[in-house]
Chain A
Amino acid sequence: AQKITQTQPGMFVQEKEAVTLDCTYDTSDPSYGLFWYKQPSSGKMIFLIYQGSYDQQNATEGRYSLNFQKARKSANLVISASQLGDSAMYFCAMRENMNSGYSTLTFGKGTMLLVSP
């Protein structure tokens, strides 16, 4: 079974609108972390936001917020007020065993976001 599922291969949004990128995950570990990375055309992986499984509140970082629904095992990324520079591939990732020395990130297949003027 896929540990991270991103069902949207591509998304389109107009500049200044908000967009939600979906991510569901599968783990039986009670201690895990969820991450979103942005990969623009340059190829570099840029960390955006993190949500810990025990965090009570949804994570926010500027225009990025993470809609964490633990019971549904979903961790959707919300980008408010989209900008042209947001056009990129977005990857959801998970790390299990957060309290141990294991640190492997497992990535989803990604969602390509295109922002139009």
Chain B
Amino acid sequence: EPEVTQTPSHQVTQMGQEVILRCVPISNHLYFYWYRQILGQKVEFLVSFYNNEISEKSEIFDDQFSVERPDGSNFTLKIRSTKLEDSAMYFCASSEDSLTYEQYFGPGTRLTVT
């Protein structure tokens, strides 16, 4: 069964550094998402992406964040200057289209900012 994959599984970075989290969505999916989950808290939507542009974003997704689909398979989340409060699990998800109800989640990347 096809799966969403994410790399790395765990990233440790120093405050102020840039990080790039990588995701490979399911190959025939057209919509891509990033969510984050601060330890012990609920999952929060960050951004959705379709046709090479952002379709929705939350208040969390400020100028420090950006997303990109640099090639036909990868979908990346960049945090330009990390803060301690960016420490969280970041989930990538994908879906076939906007009307399909199921979003398939990847295993997540644990980001630790020190």
Contacts and interface: CB of A to CB of B under 8 A. Distances in A.
Interface in A66-105: 91, 93, 95, 98-105
19 contacts: A35-B101, A44-B105, A44-B107, A44-B108, A46-B105, A47-B104, A47-B105, A50-B101, A50-B102, A52-B101, A91-B43, A95-B101, A99-B99, A102-B55, A103-B98, A104-B48, A104-B56, A107-B43, A108-B42
Interface string A12-39: 0000000000000000000001010100
Nearest to A2: B42
Nearest to B58: A104
B98 A102 contact: yes
A93 B91 CA distance: 15
Given A91-B43, A107-B43, A98 B101 contact: yes
Contacts of B106: 44
Interface string B19-50: 00000000000010101000001111100101
Interface residues of A, number: 27
Interface residues of B, number: 28
A43 B45 contact: no
A116 to B, nearest CB: 22
Given A104-B45, A106-B45, A47 B99 contact: no
Contacts of B33: 103, 105
Contacts of A50: 101-102
B89 interface: yes
A69 B28 CA distance: 35
